[in-house]
Amino acid sequence: MTLSSDTNMGEQPLLSVKAHVYHIDPKSKKSWIPATTQAVPVSFFFDSPRHLYRVISVEGTKAVINSIVTPNMTVTKTSQKFLQWSDSRVNMVYGLGFSREDDLNDFQEKFAHVKSLSQGASSDREDDASSEVGHESQQSHRSLNASVTGLVSTSSNEPGLPPNPNLVSQRSVSPGQSSVSSSNSPRPTQSITSQSQAVTPVIALHGNTTQMSESQLQVENGRLREALARSCAHADKWRNQIKMLEEEKQKLLRALEESHSNLDRWKAEYAQNNRIISDNERNGSGDHAADPHSEMERLQTLLQNLEKRNRAKESEVENLTARLEEMRTKESSVNHSTMEKLQTTESDNRALKLAISDMQEKLSRQVAINENTKAELRQLKSNLTRQVADLKKTDDKLGELLTNPST
């Protein structure tokens, strides 16, 4: 679903909170599909040209929620940080996972307020027809959500994660079966079956929560492995660059040492030539005075050139040394950051493992309780079966007495 023109209200939102958005699996109707990669703003808007209230959420250019609020909609809080509602117009069930319970309560209150306002805001025939079509499905969805709320809120240890839709379907069936059994006939077999089926959703809930925690742990481990692989690749790249810089630095140092030695040699030659010129001038050898002066100028020029080259080499060595120190600083900072992330992820993994073990222990205790309950129910069924058989025999005898009173 992409963001279309009708979802852009051009107005300030009535309320905006951040949450993770989920969609029900349209094929299986048994699992939640994450619609966003992170928490995104979920906002209420009033569409003034159509006199409609909408719930809109956008990630990038993709509209993950575009739901028109109708009077027959019901928001169900399934845990401390998760709620859901159904939109029959688009045949979609939306789920929101919040980071704080206060955000969930604000969203639920605003939804109820907007729903009450929408009762008199829409007069479009098409909207009314769609509302009538969706009324029946919303009635069943409302009873479904009401039956789920009690069970999920007491047994879910991880609010903010979507509940198992299998649990919703199972819990919505049980009340209907019980009412049919009580209204038709007092058959003990049907009542025992209805009581034994009520135990199953608890096991399904704990199993689903454990699987979700294990999958979250696997995702965190995968992210950790990817981060470590990227860090190792960057570290190898930086080590190669540092090695190349050190080799280049060594070459420049050797060239600098050679330049220094040449400079010293030329300085010695220059001093020697100066002494020769001075001696010649003192001895009065004017015939050869021009040549020593030109030689001295040549040597001075050569000396200046060598000093310039020497300064350039020294500047280049300083630049390479600064680059080398910068690369080492970057490598140490990245390694430190990677180690901190690694330690944080490991602590999170340990916490998740403890939570999983705790849920498994609770699940084991619940399974034991369920086994005891099943044993008691089987014993009750056996007793009721015997009583029914005795009653049937008594009924047969009474029938015989009524049909043959003389005997």
More confident residue, 11 or 161: 11
More confident residue, 266 or 141: 266
* pLDDT confidence bin for 108, thresholds 50/70/90: very high
Domain limits of the chain?
1-137+162-168, 217-356
Helices 200-283 and 125-155 cross at an angle (nearest 10°) of 90
How far apart CA 79 and CA 131 sit, in angstroms, is 28
pLDDT score of 130: 47
Count of beta carbons in the 10 Å neighbourhood of residue 55? 24
* Average pLDDT over every residue of 73-82: 90
Q: Which of 119-128, 184-193, 224-233 tops mean pLDDT?
A: 224-233
Give residues with Cβ within 8 angstroms of 95, minimum separation 6. 21, 22, 23, 24, 32, 82, 83, 84, 162
Q: Give the end-to-end CA distance of the chain in Å, rounded to a whole number.
A: 83
CB 385 within 8 A of CB 188: yes
* pLDDT confidence bin for 292, thresholds 50/70/90: low
Mean pLDDT is lowest, of 202-216, 288-302, 374-388, for 202-216
149, two tokens: 């709320």
pLDDT score of 305: 86
* Average pLDDT over every residue of 43-49: 89
366, two tokens: 């619940």
Beta bridge partners of 41: 18
Q: What are phi and psi of 95, to 5 degrees?
A: -130, 140
Cα–Cα distances (Å) from 175 to 148, 196, 225, 360, 370, in that order, read 12, 13, 48, 29, 20
306, two tokens: 């060598």
Fold of 1-137+162-168: PH-domain like (2.30.29)
C-alpha 148: how far from chain center: 25
How far apart CA 115 and CA 71 sit, in angstroms, is 5
Query: Which pTM does this prediction carry?
Result: 0.33
Count of beta carbons in the 10 Å neighbourhood of residue 175? 14
Q: Which of 7-11, 156-160, 346-350 tops mean pLDDT?
A: 346-350
183, two tokens: 């209204």
* Average pLDDT over every residue of 43-64: 89
Burial 181-215 (b: 16+ CB within 10 A, else e): beeeeeeeebbbebbeeebebbeebbebbbebbee
How far apart CA 15 and CA 242 sit, in angstroms, is 53
Q: Is the pLDDT of residue 259 over 60?
A: yes
Helices and strands per DSSP (H, E), number in the chain? 6, 8
Residues in the chain: 407
Q: Please say whether the structural domain 217-356 has been given the CATH code 1.10.1040.10.
A: no
Q: Is the pLDDT of residue 140 over 60?
A: no
Which long-range contacts does 117-122 make (Cβ < 8 Å, 24+ apart)?
117/53, 118/52, 118/53, 118/69, 118/70, 118/71, 119/71, 121/51, 121/52, 121/53, 122/50, 122/51, 122/52, 122/70
How far apart CA 184 and CA 194 sit, in angstroms, is 14
Of residues 314, 324, 303, the one with CA closest to residue 255:
314
CB 115 within 8 A of CB 107: no
pLDDT score of 210: 55
CB 53 within 8 A of CB 38: no
DSSP state of 63: E
pLDDT score of 376: 93
* pLDDT confidence bin for 34, thresholds 50/70/90: very high
Count of beta carbons in the 10 Å neighbourhood of residue 10? 7
Mean pLDDT is lowest, of 154-158, 369-373, 376-380, 390-394, for 154-158
* pLDDT confidence bin for 88, thresholds 50/70/90: confident
* Average pLDDT over every residue of 310-317: 86
* Average model confidence (pLDDT) across the chain: 75
Q: Is the pLDDT of residue 167 over 80?
A: no
Q: What are phi and psi of 91, to 5 degrees?
A: 55, 55
pLDDT score of 284: 62
* Average pLDDT over every residue of 33-56: 90
pLDDT score of 211: 58
Chain segment 176-204, per-residue pLDDT in tens: 333 333 333 333 333 333 333 433 443 44
Chain segment 388-398, per-residue pLDDT in tens: 999 999 999 99
pLDDT score of 156: 41
Of residues 268, 261, 267, the one with CA closest to residue 310:
261
